[in-house]
Structure 1
Amino acid sequence: MPARINIPPVTRVLLIALLLQSVLSAAVRYRQWSANSEIVVEWLTLVPQLSLFYPWTFVTTTLVENNIFTLGIAGLTIFQGGRYLERAWSSREFAKFLLVTSLVPNILSFLVLVMMFTLTRNERWTLTTVSGTIPLQISFLVAFSQLVPAHTVTLFRGIVSLRVPRIPLIHLGVVTVLSLTPILSVAHVLLATFGLLTSWTYLRFYKTVFPDLDSSQPTSMRGDASETFAFAEFFPGPVKPAVAALSDQVFNVLVAMKVCTPFSAAEVSAAHGGGFIQRGAPGGVRAEAERRRALALKALDQRLHAATGTTGPRSQSQPPSHTSGPTVSTQPQPTQTAMTSQPAALLGETNYVPDQDHMEKHSS
């Protein structure tokens, strides 16, 4: 039987919605196609001049692709990136991230197109379709930049080597170039730009930070104050100082407008001292608890080996014993004391009941 692909629930819903909505949009456009007009589906995709009576399009338009090329890239991006981030953050946090990084860029792109129409009186701006997974794609790259900032991607057998925080800007540049072709439009450049800014702002200042199990910090802290996730880290070294100075000024304005809140001393200390973990591996806090429990059980197993005097498997040079081993009454008293007292002293309230075969092995 073929291996079953395990897809988390939110990622599965995204893939299904992407496929169904893209096929539905293609069917409507194919049925109404004519050589003299451009077909738009105003009740499914966001068209500033036509979709005002369909407010749900601010959300649904993100999962509509208009050609097979962009649909394939979108499906691959959601399948790979969605699975990783949902397992790293939990389904609830991943769903919140998706809602923010799709809704906000769509609204901002809508406002920019309306403003351009106001300035130029050219209806082409308000008839531009705002759709596609571009904001999700660049948001996933920003999230990877936070989770694995030191990771390097090597392409073409080492000819090209890029750190992960450099990839979002490259993605933005590729989208800008493709907007000059019929594949993408100017709306996609707006979506990519606002997707980058929105995802970084949310992860930097608003997303809940998961505490380390050994940390006494409160669980209500948010954002990521680490220097490796500063906005200037997305840019090459020569322009970092200028970007950092500009971003500091913008941040001060946002603080004055009460949009952002400065990081507290505890948050900065946690970011630099590792008091909080960005759950970069699937499983998060629950997986961390399981890992620590496994380490504790391993330590208990080693103590049991030391207490019974068996530090490894039976030597092959010794002939096998034909007896079933000494009974409980013939066991040395110190061994019984060690076996009954050490686990409680080691794990506190944790109860560890070894399997019968495992106990027989130690007894022998």
Structure 2
Amino acid sequence: MPPRINIPPVTRILLIVLVLQSILSAAIRYRQWTAHSEIFIPYLNLVPQLSLVYPWTFITTTLVESNVFTLGIACLTLYHGGRYLERAWSSREFGKFLLISSVIPNTLCFGTLIVFFTVTRDERWTLMTIAGTIPLQISFLVAFSQLVPAHTVTLFRGLLSLRVPRFPLLYVGVVTALCMTPILTSTSFFLAIYGLLTSWTYLRFYKAVFPDLDSSQPSSLRGDASDTFAFAEFFPGPVRPFVAGISETVFNVLVAMRLCVPFNAAEHSAVRGGDGNFMMQRSSVPGSARAEAERRRALALKALDQRLHAATATAATRAQNAAPPPPVHPPAPSASGPTVHSQPQVNSQKTMTAQQAGGSSGLLGETSYNPDGEDRGSA
């Protein structure tokens, strides 16, 4: 029998709806296709001028792809990214993240097109279709930047190495380039920008941190106050101070408008050690305290394994030194074999000791722990 593919429930529903709606959209376009007019599906896709009477399109339009190329990329992204994030966060938190990362960018893009129509009086702005999984794809990249900020991905057999926080900005650049081709529409650029801002804002300030039983952090802790998840970390080093200054100014304005709440002492202490210095491990990542406990258990198991090997070797040495020498004149062998005094006691004792040592090693296994190294040369 072929192996059963284990897909979490929310990710499974996401993939099914994406494929069904994309097939339905393609069938409608094929049936209504004409060479002289553009086809709109206002009850499935979000079109500013036509979809106000279909409010559900603010959600459904995210899971509709218009061509096979984007559909294939969307399926791969949702399959791998959805499985990872849903298992890391739980299905409920993952579903909430999907809802926020799709509805808010679609709404902001809708409002942007209305503003452009108001300024230019060009009706084409209100007839642009807002659709696709681009907000979800860039939101997954932002989530990975929070969970594994120091991880480096090597591409093209080592020719290019990029840290995970570089991928959201790289994705925006790729989408911008594809918007100049028939593959993507100009609305995809706005969806990528708004998806980046929305997902980062939610994870930075609002997402509830999973309470860890191995730590003393409060269960009401929200957001991620670590420096590794600052907005400037998405940008290369030369422009990072400039972006950090702008983002700090915007944050202070939002705090003054009471749209954002600054981090309190408990949230800052979650990413700092008891002496006020930053810990080597990112304690702000959900479940990182559990990871620290696993690291300590691995180190303790390794130390125990080494002590067992040392104790076994010491016992073998003592037994070899304490064993009596064989008799000088052994008695003549009998038909029943050698007597008790002529049995190779020392060799058998060595063999038993070696077997005990090998058995303990085989039972416990050779434990080795390689802690994550420091950041290797970010791109």
Q: TM-score, normalised by structure 1?
A: 0.79
Matched residue, 1:317: 351
In structure 1, the residue matched to 2:325 is none
- Kept after mapping to 1: 8 A contact 2:221/2:267: yes
| C-alpha distance after superposition, 1:41-74 (max 9, x if no partner) | 1000100000000000000000000000000000
Amino acid at match of 2:285: Q
Q: Which residue of 1 aligns with 2:40?
A: 40
In structure 2, the residue matched to 1:51 is 51
Correspondence for 1:278 among 281, 285, 310: 285
**Alignment partner of 1:140 is 2:147:** no
Q: CA deviation at 1:287?
A: 8.1
What is the rounded CA distance, in whole Å, between the counterparts of 1:162 and 1:289 in structure 2?
26
> For 1:191 and 1:229, how far apart are their aligned partners in 2?
21
Deviation at 1:286, TM superposition (A): 12
Counterparts of 2:163 and 2:206, CA distance in 1: 25
How many Å separate the matches in 2 of 1:139 and 1:36? 37
- The structure that has the greater radius of gyration is 2
Residue type of the partner of 2:106?
N
Q: Distance in 2 between matches of 1:266 and 1:316?
A: 59
Corresponding residue for residue 7 of structure 1:
7
Mapped contact 1:233–1:240 kept (Cα < 8 A): yes
Q: Is the 8 A contact 2:8 2:83 kept in 1?
A: yes
Paired AA for residue 62 in structure 1: T
Aligned ranges 1:27-176 → 2 under 5 Å: 27-176=27-176
Q: How far does residue 210 in structure 1 lie from its aligned partner after superposition?
A: 2.2
Q: CA contact under 8 A between 1:205 and 1:222: conserved in structure 2? A: yes
Query: Which residue is equivalent to 2:234?
Result: 234
Confirm or deny: 8 A CA contact 1:45 1:129 kept in the other structure: yes
Partner of 1:355: none
- Cα distance in 2 for partners of 1:287, 1:216 equals 12
Q: Conserved in 1, the CA contact under 8 Å of 2:212 and 2:289?
A: no
Give 2:351's aligned amino acid. S
How much does 1:258 deviate? 1.2
Aligned residues: 314
Q: Counterpart of 2:376?
A: none
Q: Name the CA shift for 1:12/1:285 in 2 (closer, same or farther; >3 Å).
A: farther
Alpha-carbon distance change, 316 to 144 in structure 1, aligned in 2, over 3 angstroms: farther
When residues 215 and 30 of structure 1 are mapped into structure 2, their CA distance, relative to the original with a 3 A threshold, is same
Please state whether the residue corresponding to 1:153 is helix, strand or coil: strand
Checking the alignment, whether the CA contact within 8 Å between 2:214 and 2:289 is kept in structure 1 is: no
Residues 129-182 of structure 1: CA distance to partner in whole angstroms, max 9, x if unpaired? 000000000000000000110111111111111111011001001100110111
Give the partner amino acid of 1:75: C
**Aligned partners of 1:211 and 1:276 also within 8 Å:** no
Contact 1:210 1:277 in 2 (8 A): no
Residue type of the partner of 2:209? V
**1:22, 1:65 within 8 Å by CA — same for their partners in 2?**
yes
How far, CA to CA, are the matches of 2:285 and 2:349 in structure 1? 45
Could you report, residue by residue, the CA deviation over 1:187-207 in whole angstroms, capped at 9, with x for unpaired residues? 000000000000000000000
- C-alpha deviation, 1:211, in angstroms: 3.5
Distance 1:210 1:276, change over 3 A: farther
**Over aligned residue pairs, what C-alpha RMSD do you find?**
3.1
- In the alignment, structure 1 segments of 5+ residues that lack a partner are 320-357, 359-364
CA spacing shift, 1:144–1:205, aligned 2, 3 Å: same
CA offsets, 1:278-332, max 9 Å, x none? 24xxxx599879969x98x979x99xx9xxx9x99x988239xxxxxxxxxxxxx
Counterparts of 1:315 and 1:78, CA distance in 2: 61
Question: Alignment partner of 2:271: what SS?
Answer: helix
For residue 223 of structure 2, what is the amino acid of its counterpart? G
Check conservation: 1:117, 1:125, Cα contact below 8 A: yes
Q: Is the 8 A contact 1:210 1:276 kept in 2?
A: no
SS at match of 1:124: helix
Counterpart in the other structure of 1:354:
none
Q: Using the alignment, how far apart are the partners of 2:163 and 2:192 within structure 1?
A: 20
Task: Supply the distance in 2 between the matched residues of 1:286 and 1:191 (Cα, whole angstroms).
Answer: 35
Partner of 2:193: 193
Equivalent AA in structure 2 for residue 158 of structure 1 = G
Residues 224 and 284, structure 2, Cα contact 8 Å, conserved in 1: no
Query: Per the alignment, in what secondary structure is the counterpart of residue 65 of structure 1?
Result: coil
> In the superposition, relative to structure 1, how do residues 318 and 143 fare at CA in structure 2: closer, same or farther (>3 Å)?
same
**Distance (whole Å) between structure 2 residues aligned to residue 12 and residue 135 of structure 1:** 18
TM-score by length of 2: 0.76
Equivalent in the alignment of 1:26: 26
Q: 1:286 to 1:25 in 2, by over 3 A?
A: farther
Residue 212 of structure 1, CA deviation? 3.5
Shift of 1:123: 0.8
